[in-house]
A = this chain, B = another copy of it.
Amino acid sequence: MVKIRPMDDRVVIEVLEAEQTTAGGIVLPDSAQEKPQRGKVTAIGAGKLGKDGDRLPMTLKVGDEVMFGKYSGSDVEVDGHEFKIMRENEILLRFDR
Q: How far is the CA of A40 from the CA of B7 in the complex (A)?
A: 15
How far does the Cβ of A71 sit from chain B's closest Cβ, in whole Å?
A: 11
Residue count of chain A within 8 Å CB distance of chain B? 50
* Residue picked from A3, A28, A92, most chain B C-beta under 10 Å: A92
Does A7 lie within 8 Å of B77, measured CB to CB?
A: no
A window 13-28: CB within 8 A of B: 24-28
Chain B residues in 8 Å Cβ range of A26 = 2, 77-80
In the complex, which residues of chain B have a beta carbon less than 8 angstroms from the beta carbon of A85?
36, 67, 92-93
Residues of chain A having any CB pair with chain B under 8 Å: 2-8, 10, 12, 24-29, 32, 35-36, 43, 45-46, 48-54, 56-57, 59, 66-67, 69, 74-80, 85, 88-89, 91-96
